[in-house]
Structure 1
């Protein structure tokens, strides 16, 4: 008779997995002001799509250099495409476009309600318990979003609504991708899996950028090139590899904890680098959202 697996305890959480989560969180947190600053020189879809493809090619080269095969088993292609669409395409496209309507700090807070969505999706898909504590957590996170929507009056809220909707959609998709990644359990080597997911996800982002935007390399200043380099090397290569590696070592709910630091880093770094507002309303939204996320991932 097979005994049921015991629940994951704190003692069984791999410390190195938490280190990987911390690296990914810092990289993604700093990526918010970088992406916002890059908008002044390049449009969002073209910037994210092109940097993602370059990052995917670099990772593919690293995989080959490490002796990893780039071959994908036939039965895993569908799962790979689904995860790429949720973890990369949806996130890059929707959250990138949200920056056209929202300050980087606010977009980060809204998008990184992801762990709250993950708590509910893990209950539906993986059978994890959805306690009253997590329900209260969702209400707290939504209170933070409401604070952001009402921060500048009704007119300001209406203007921000497309950005809020896009950031929420991107966060929900990333949460679904996180849960499905645990369910699917891809057997590809880490760097190979990262290269394929980033590449598959960013091709349609770039195509949409070429159709609806007008990117010109001549418009990039030395600062713009530096921002692009950060997105390629840190935002894609380092952050996504660390995230996928952590997700292999940790439960989905624990992995989601690592993203809690992202909006904090995003808001603070955007206030410092871009002089975005960091007043009482933004702090209240940040506190309510992060408190909700923390509560959701604890119970």
Structure 2
């Protein structure tokens, strides 16, 4: 069980660390090109993994359409919002905005899937809204470092990722995880190609070994390693308990932003961080079993 906890924590920590990595990439390369190359690199790894772990799999037509929609929302819109937002705001604030995901998914499940939203989920939504309000007020007041527009763009990415999560629920268990991810990355590459093509000349910037290494790290950790670690942990840990480990996302994003990028951690960030972490904990903490 300790190994499973470690796998879940490391998966979310890598997602958080990738906020800072994505910011560095967005400052050097066109946004659509980053997302497209990330998909291509991920496919190169997922293809042999899918053949090895899942074997030949027939993907039904309705599942394929669902995966195509997941690609539009979970890859194209999420990455566009995240990368465009991180060009304007800080990795610290971007990570805090990403922490609203569990609350947004809860609202989406209630509105779109008619799922009942218990009281503690409403509490999580309120805490997340409070965290967003804290950093939004700071930006509107002209605080240093971040950007209101940048934070809103990152939140647009959160909406795309929430749609991806809700769509994934419709086909859960119908196709093995690695195969589904391979198909989704393929659809994502097709969606992104027309937008990435005009920026292909910028690939020359990848002659910088450090930038190329960042892109490879971003692609393989965010699209492959995080996925494998997460689902390996879920084999031993109930989904409700696993959700608690999403708290590592904003925590790691803040740690990397402050320690490696030198971003300032203010009292407003502290308030937002406490509210966001509270939201994640309330939204994902497993319920007590009935006696």
Aligned to 1:283: 270
Aligned equivalents of 2:24 and 2:124: distance in 1?
32
Unaligned runs of 5+ in 1: 1-13
Q: Give deviations 1:235-283, integer Å, cap 9, x for gaps.
A: 2211134446667887776554332210110011111111011121211
For the aligned residues, what is the CA RMSD? 2.9
Alignment of 1:105-184 (within 5 A): 105-155=92-142, 160-184=147-171
Cα contact 1:50–1:206 (8 A) shared by 2: no
Cα contact 2:78–2:159 (8 A) shared by 1: no
Alignment of 1:1-299 (within 5 A): 19-66=6-53, 68-69=55-56, 71-155=58-142, 160-211=147-198, 215-218=202-205, 220-243=207-230, 256-298=243-285
Normalized against structure 1, the TM-score is what? 0.82
Aligned to 1:8: none
Shift of 1:40: 3.5
Q: Give deviations 1:74-125, integer Å, cap 9, x for gaps.
A: 2321121122222222222211211111111111110221001122223345
Deviates more, 1:137-146 or 1:263-272: 137-146
Secondary structure of the equivalent of 1:215?
helix
Cα contact 1:52–1:198 (8 A) shared by 2: yes
Aligned equivalents of 2:205 and 2:46: distance in 1?
27
Normalized against structure 2, the TM-score is what? 0.84
Change (3 A) 1:171 1:236: same
Shift of 1:179: 2.8
Change (3 A) 1:70 1:200: farther
Shift of 1:65: 4.1
Aligned equivalents of 1:51 and 1:297: distance in 2?
29
Cα contact 2:54–2:178 (8 A) shared by 1: no
Aligned equivalents of 2:265 and 2:156: distance in 1?
24
